[in-house]
Amino acid sequence: MAKYQKPVLFYQGNCGNDAARVALVSVSVESALLGYGVEIYHKVLSQLEKKYNCSLYDCYKHPECLNEILKTLPRNSRYKITQSIRNGLEEFSYVKPVSKFLDTLDS
């Protein structure tokens, strides 16, 4: 019987390349925003660019920027988008940077 092994994608050793995690988080955020509506998607991207000079890809390392933009949305919208992001990343929450990203969204 094969022993359970974490996916290589999330290797926690000396591998400094976290491009796969950046892409995973970015796609989850993008999907959640688009799931709520194209207008919200464009509004969030525009605000990220305008306020923080960053994109969705930068949100992985700076989730506080996304969190601040989401706080400007109506409470119900913010909750649904955050919940959708959390659902999309739930199975990867054992990875410390992903867990930190999710915790920052909840603050």
Which token pair is 51?
A: 């306020």
* pLDDT at site 39: 94
**Quick one: fold of 20-105?**
1.10.1200
The 10s digit of each residue's pLDDT in 75-99 is 899 999 999 999 999 999 998 999 9
What are the boundaries of each domain within the chain?
20-105
For the question of whether the overall pTM of this predicted structure is more than 0.75, the answer is yes
Q: Which amino acid is at 106?
A: D
The 10s digit of each residue's pLDDT in 9-53 is 444 444 445 888 999 999 999 999 999 999 999 999 999 999 999
